[in-house]
Amino acid sequence: MIEVTNISKSYADILAVDRVSVQMRENTVFGLIGTNGAGKSTVLRMIAGVLKADEGSITVDGIPVFDQVEAKKKIFFIADEPYFFANANAMEMEKYFSTVYEEFLREDFYRYLESFGLDKKRKINTFSKGMKKQLALLYGICSGARYLLCDETFDGLDPVMRQGIKSVFAKEMESRGLTPIIASHNLRELEDICDHVGLLHKGGVLLSKDLEDMKCNIQKVQCVFSTEEDKKKGMEGVDIIKEEKRGSLHTLTVRGSREEIIGHFATVDTVFFEALPLSLEEIFISETEVAGYDVKKLIFG
């Protein structure tokens, strides 16, 4: 597990990361969401040991990460724009990474390279941006490192490649406990791949929750009450986060399990009632509006 405790980082008079605390459990996919400038890249670089936190601590499986070789062996960091040696091809970069990561999975790497249609002898500087990101992901996956830190790595990948990488993640997570940590400015990029999501805003963590818990404990209810008395009874005794009304139709975002919510409204006479699952986008909007933020402006532009 990666434990980040009250870390802060400043550049001159600019506070980039402000007392961030978060836990990233092994064998899960952690998504770090935030706009450009929210501090995602700085947090990842501190976790990777590239930067030292001004305050706070970071441990990887209990080992402090900065200047600790044993901790860094467990991490592979992929920057927003992956770096490769000038004029190198995929084979030459594999030889380099094999010297850095003693458990590099060479056979798996070349098998994945072929299945993704990447030429091992072609100069990497002739690859497209998407191809370079695919290649960087394959190096990270095959490095043997337990934690794979991806900074905007999925940005620009087409749906087919995203699905391919997602399948590889699932296979490696099951076989050897790989833990991907993916930073992105786009929530929709991560909805179908992450188990846990943290939202960064202005250098601090605004929200950090398991997706399954979030989806199971918040519901959208649409209903038309038979009478004002039924409406009063239906609105009482439940934790309503958000309410909208169009004519006689009430749309409520309610905190609680699906069974609890359906059970509550079963005691009320309604002309129409349905409980609907929320998308991750709707859940984030609801949760952050309660905290006084407009997440639509933060991560949807």
Q: State residue 161's pLDDT score.
A: 85
Is residue 300 within 8 Å of 242, Cβ to Cβ?
Answer: no
Q: What is the pLDDT of residues 90-133, one digit of tens each?
A: 999 999 999 999 999 999 999 999 999 999 999 999 999 889 99
Q: Which residue is associated with the tokens 């989806």? A: 215
Q: State residue 37's pLDDT score.
A: 79
Ranges of the chain whose pLDDT falls below 70: 156, 287-301
- pTM for this prediction: 0.81
Whole-number Cα distances in Å, 229 to 153, 245, 265, 269: 53, 17, 13, 9
Q: State residue 151's pLDDT score.
A: 92
Give the strand order in the sheet containing 55-60: 14-24, 2-11, 55-60, 63-64
Between CA 193 and CA 185 the distance in angstroms is 15
Between CA 36 and CA 59 the distance in angstroms is 26
Q: State residue 204's pLDDT score.
A: 79
Q: State residue 157's pLDDT score.
A: 79
- Pick the closest to residue 131 from 171, 151, 92, 158 (CA basis): 158
Q: What percent of the chain has pLDDT over 90?
A: 61
Q: What is the pLDDT of residues 130-164, one digit of tens each?
A: 899 999 999 999 999 999 999 988 776 788 888 88
| Half-sphere exposure at residue 152, Cβ-oriented, CA atoms within 13 angstroms | 18
Q: State residue 121's pLDDT score.
A: 96
SS (H, E, C) 70-125: HHHCCEEEECCCCCCCCCCEHHHHHHHHHHHCCCCCHHHHHHHHHHCCCCCCCEHH
Between CA 27 and CA 121 the distance in angstroms is 33
